[in-house]
Amino acid sequence: SIDILSKGMSKGEFNSVSAAVGGYEKLIDTSSKAYKDSTLQYLAYEGDKIEKLLENPAMFKTPIVRNGRQATVGYCPDVWKTWE
C-alpha cells in the first residue's frame, strides 16, 4: 500500500494506479472535506485536475493498494485475497 497522506504520490505512480483502476476519477474521494473545500470539481482541464489532486493527497480514496500492475482503491479484501 501507499502512504498517501504523508508521502503523496508521484506522477508515475498516479498514472500507473489510474490505468489499473480505470481512470483517475476513481481515485477521488468526493465525500472528503479536502475535495469539498477544493476547486477540483470546477476545473475544466484533466491536466489541471490531476495537478490539483497530486498537490492535495487528502482527496484520494484510501487505501490504495498495488500488486504488480493491479491496484484497488478503497477497502477491497475480496480482491486482495485473489492476489498472489
DSSP letter, residue 27: G
- Location of C-alpha cell 504488480: 68
Which range of residues forms the domain containing residue 64?
4-82
Q: Which three cell numbers stand for residue 61?
A: 480514496
Query: Residue type for 57, please?
Result: P
Greatest distance between any 2 Cα atoms in the chain: 40
- Region of 50 please: left (phi>0), alpha (psi -120 to 50) or beta: alpha
Task: For residue 14, give the CATH number of its domain.
Answer: 3.40.30.10
- pTM metric for this prediction: 0.87
What is the per-residue pLDDT across 21-77, written as a single tens digit (0 to 9) for each? Answer: 999 999 999 999 999 999 999 999 999 999 999 999 999 999 999 999 999 999 999
Domain count, the chain: 1
Task: List the one residue out of 76, 57, 75, 43 whose CA is nearest residue 14.
Answer: 57
